[in-house]
């Protein structure tokens, strides 16, 4: 019997976290549902103890409980390539992704399977919380998508689609996808911000989205995150994402309004990161880079998104009262 869900877990040098990630999957799945989820653990050429931890977990937990699983080993090729490898081996009608330093909360997979027993949407959305310690995962703490779920409650598909683009939180791991959708959208290998170049375009292909406004996943914050260590590679890859959004808008004119939102949001990130690096280094090359990108965008796409000073001023004014306790 084919599994209903293929769970793809890319792993690379996560010896401090992978045990917790794998255990969280086992804990979120009741015994009667174990056969409905296949585990695809992709070892992306890890050089620490990650492969040993995975092998030991499979021997002690997955094999005795007869949980469908496969451990796939490959030379290090990056997160996108590891996800693509998992997709190439997936047998389930639906696909879930779990980054190997994150965790599912209790009964997460059971809740997703309960939805699929009643509905057959193209995408299931669910909420998540950021955490440093597992104790941070609490109903009293804010969630990533709380306001989004409140705003989309009872809305039609098109209105909710536009709101998803305004939210601009395209984390791959906070959704469950019909696998046939993903066959047309492989992850772009060799680029950062891979979720931003994947999830929005899957949404444009989807006809039905089911919203499950419950926290099913804990997203681990760590010092090595992209936003904590921005450099020119991040900025150049963001500009690649912007170019992709313009190209897709030309190819999919029916989705131009949503893609215009994506273009604007991506451009604001580029400007914000360039300004952040300028303030950190006092090197004017980062400000000149904004001007260069503006010139390129005008030449290629006939559009100038400007410096977005109004947006940044408004954002700053909103934050000042909170910063100073006003």
Statement to judge: residues 57 and 199 lie in one domain: yes
* Residue 188 DSSP code: P
Q: Is residue 315 part of a domain?
A: no
- The answer to whether position 127 is within a domain reads yes
Residues 30 and 129 in one domain: yes
User: In this structure, how many other beta carbons lie within 10 angstroms of the beta carbon of residue 272?
Assistant: 17
Of 117 and 320, the structure prediction assigns the larger pLDDT to: 117
Tokens of residue 167, six digits: 């939210």
| Count of helices and strands (H, E) across the chain | 12, 8
Check pLDDT > 60 for residue 32.
yes
Are 55 and 14 in a shared domain? yes
Report the residue count for the chain.
326
The answer to whether 122 and 161 are in contact (CB under 8 A) is no
pLDDT at position 41 over 90:
yes
User: In terms of Cα–Cα distance, which of 106, 128, 110, 142 is closest to 213?
Assistant: 128
Residues 190 and 244 in one domain: no
238, 214, 220, 276: which is closest to 103 by C-alpha?
220
**Separation between Cα atoms, residue 110 and residue 305, nearest integer Å:** 45
Q: Which CATH number is 106's domain given? A: 3.90.550.10
> Is residue 319 in a domain?
no
- Cα three-residue angle 219-259-278, rounded to 5 degrees: 65
The structure tokens listed for 120 are 């057959």
The span from the CA of 77 to the CA of 86, in Å, is: 13
Q: Does a structural domain hold residue 141?
A: yes
Task: Specify the pLDDT at position 135.
Answer: 85
Q: Output the CA angle 97-132-272, nearest 5 degrees.
A: 80
d(CA 144, CA 171): 10
Q: Mind listing the pLDDT tens digit for each residue in 199-243?
A: 999 999 999 999 999 999 999 997 655 556 899 999 999 999 999
Residue 322 pLDDT > 70: no
Q: What percent of the chain has pLDDT over 90?
A: 88
Number of structural domains found in the chain: 2
Q: Residue 324: inside a domain, yes or no?
A: no
pLDDT for 65 beyond 70: yes
Of 168, 196, 222, the residue that ends a domain is: 222
More confident residue, 283 or 226: 283
Distance CA 35, CA 4 (A): 9
9 and 112 fall within a common domain: yes
Residue numbers of the domain that contains 201? 5-222
pLDDT digits (tens, 9 = 90+) for 160-172: 999 999 999 999 9
Say whether both 259 and 118 belong to one domain.
no
pLDDT (0 to 100) of residue 326? 46
Cβ contact 205:254 at 8 Å: no
């Amino acid at each position: 019997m084919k599994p209903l869900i293929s769970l793809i877990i890319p792993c690379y040098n996560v010896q401090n976290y992978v045990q917790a990630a794998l255990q969280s999957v086992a804990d979120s799945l009741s015994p009667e549902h174990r056969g409905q989820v296949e585990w695809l653990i992709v070892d992306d050429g890890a050089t620490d103890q990650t492969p040993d931890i995975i092998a030991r977990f499979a021997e002690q937990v997955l094999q005795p409980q007869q949980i469908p699983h496969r451990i796939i080993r490959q030379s290090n090729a990056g997160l996108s390539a590891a996800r693509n490898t998992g997709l190439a081996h997936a047998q389930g009608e639906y696909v879930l992704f779990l980054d190997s330093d994150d965790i599912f909360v209790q009964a997460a997979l059971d809740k997703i399977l309960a939805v699929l027993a009643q509905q057959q949407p193209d995408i299931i959305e669910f909420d998540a919380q950021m955490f440093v310690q597992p104790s941070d995962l609490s109903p009293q703490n804010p969630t990533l998508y709380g306001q989004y779920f409140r705003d989309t409650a009872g809305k039609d598909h098109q209105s909710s689609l536009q709101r998803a683009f305004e939210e601009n939180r395209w984390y791959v791991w906070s959704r469950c996808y019909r696998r046939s959708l993903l066959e047309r959208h492989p992850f772009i290998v060799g680029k950062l911000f891979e979720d931003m170049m994947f999830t929005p375009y899957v949404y444009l292909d989807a006809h039905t989205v089911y919203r499950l406004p419950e926290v099913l996943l804990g997203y681990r914050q760590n010092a090595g995150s992209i936003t904590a260590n921005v450099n020119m590679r991040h900025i150049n890859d963001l500009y690649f994402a912007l170019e992709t959004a313009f190209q897709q808008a030309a190819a999919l004119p029916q989705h131009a309004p949503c893609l215009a939102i994506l273009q604007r949001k991506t451009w604001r990130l580029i400007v914000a990161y360039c300004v952040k690096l300028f303030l950190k280094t006092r090197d004017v090359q980062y400000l000149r880079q904004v001007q260069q990108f503006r010139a390129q965008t005008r030449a290629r796409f006939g559009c100038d998104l400007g410096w977005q000073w109004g947006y940044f001023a408004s954002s700053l004014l909103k934050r000042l009262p909170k910063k100073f306790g006003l």
